Amino acid sequence: MKIYRIFTISILLIAILLAAVYFWISENGREQIQPAGGNQNGSSGSIQFSVPSGIYKGMVEVVIEGGPKEGTIHYTLDGTKPDRRSPVYKKPLTIREDTVVQAAVISGNALAETASATYLVEASTLPVFSIITDPENLWSKDKGIYITGVHASKKYPYKGANYWQDWEIPVEIDYLEKGKNVYSVSAGMKIFGGETRTLPQKSFALYAKSKYGSKKFYYPLFPGKNISEYNTFVLRNGGQDFSKTHLRDGLVSTLVKDTNIDYQEYRPVVVYLNGTYWGIYDLREKIDDDFLAANHPGVKKKKIDLLEGKAVEKQGSNQDYLDLIDFIKNNNLKNSVNYRRVSEEIDINNFIDYVVAELYFANTDWPSHNYRYWKANGNFSKWRWIIYAGDLTFGDPRENTVVRFVNYHESGDNSLTLPNLFRELLKNEQFRRDFRERADYHLANTFRPERVIETARTLKRQIQPEMPRHLEKWGGTMAEWEQNTAKIETFAKERPQHLKRYLDELYSNLK
């Protein structure tokens, strides 16, 4: 009996303690309640906004209505999820500046319905992504993904910083085209990229997941592609070209569209974070198995091997590639039989086009970094290379990238480097002929000065109206931007003659 009384008293004490903790959190903490059904944006569910998300000149008056009969509508204007401490909606909201509205019906401590909307006042010629999230997800020193935080190294690139962590935050997205909202969805978001994470304007990767409400982004983000659903996409800050032209990476992808190279689609957009203008971004496909399967009919994502650099596995296995390199190490490719064996495992046309393009662009962040390659079962069973991260291109038109590439070595074993593969293939006479023929073709067509200049001017015209506002946000002048974009045209005019001379020198030195 005594044990029973002790047990009963212990249970009561625990219950009282839990009740006290709950009461303290309710009174002092912010409720962490997930909205039902994700971003309703006034278009579904019970809560409705009288004015849909969009761009409106001057003042707009927004009525919030609907929701369960029992409960009170609370709202916020800073991206914070509403709770019972948030303002109570009593009359129409008058919007005169860029604003994100989040509304929720709250009964007691329970959140019954939620919705969000974006209202912007300055028009843009580019599509707009409005990203809404609790400000703490971005700026809190403990969990804010955008900031340095307290654990960063003092040395560049500040490893340990919050923006180097693999943290994902929940966001609401409104996507606007021509000032009108065309798509809204709840999603996850991470900081994206390499050392460009240290830049003041950071890149984002967006993820569709069932836990946020939608397992895919059901919208044709790139009108030129016959793809209407995505698992992920990237909003890229222009990389190392962030403060120069904001064009180079997109220009690289656009120029190689008609080659055998795999590339990411490009589209310039504008981003807002919780109603604050965040400048021009590059909307890009994200390189992963979904990207490859979507762009190559018949390819199944579970059958894809995607590698990076020295056979680092991004998806699938690197074993087939390691076996291929082992064969090359032990068999001279000057022999036609050995070369034929390798050409059955490498898409030679893709490889040649890829190398020629990188040599032309004078990518100073290559080949030491930024190369990926893949294969799958079926029609794409040969290794193919993907071009990406072209922000350190179009520099010095006189740079001898051929010598830099062919002579590139790393400390230790070089067998897995891209230049070593090229050197081995150059031993074969057939490969030399094919390479020279394709290089001549691309210099006369793909990279013909007039074509490159007109393509660059087309992309420039797309972002030019937005650049003054972007530069006001992040620094720089239109005069500097014009000077930097002019360098691309100078490169286009001069590069073919220099690269042709370097290639001729390479051919004449081969034995």
Residues 54-82 have pLDDT tens digits of: 999 989 999 998 866 678 899 999 999 99
Does residue 256 lie in a domain region?
Answer: no
Find out whether 48 and 65 touch, Cβ atoms under 8 Å: yes
Query: Do the bridges between strand 384-387 and strand 262-263 make them parallel or antiparallel, or are there none, so unpaired?
Result: parallel
Does residue 214 lie in a domain region?
Answer: no
What whole-number distance in Å separates Cα of residue 81 and Cα of residue 291? Answer: 33
Does residue 310 lie in a domain region?
Answer: yes
Q: What pLDDT is attached to residue 63?
A: 97
What angle, 0 to 180 degrees and rounded to 10, lies between the N-to-C axes of helices 429-444 and 478-509?
Answer: 150
Does residue 172 lie in a domain region?
Answer: no
Residue 478, Cβ density class (10 Å: 0-12 exposed, 13-18 middle, ≥19 buried): exposed
Q: What pLDDT is attached to residue 6?
A: 45
What whole-number distance in Å separates Cα of residue 22 and Cα of residue 15? Answer: 11
Q: What pLDDT is attached to residue 204?
A: 98
Query: Model-level pTM greater than 0.85?
Result: yes
Collapsing DSSP to helix, strand or coil, 489 comes out as helix
Does residue 475 lie in a domain region?
Answer: yes
Q: What pLDDT is attached to residue 19?
A: 44
Does residue 180 lie in a domain region?
Answer: no
Q: What pLDDT is attached to residue 68?
A: 66
* Residue ranges in the chain whose pLDDT is less than 50: 1-9, 11-38, 40-45
Bridge partners, residue 116, by sequence: 102
Which structural domain, as residue segments, surrounds residue 356? 303-509
Task: Name the amino acid, one letter, at 373.
Answer: Y
Does residue 280 lie in a domain region?
Answer: no
Total domains, the chain: 1
- Residue 14 tokens, joined: 């625990």
What whole-number distance in Å separates Cα of residue 195 and Cα of residue 178? Answer: 33
Does residue 27 lie in a domain region?
Answer: no
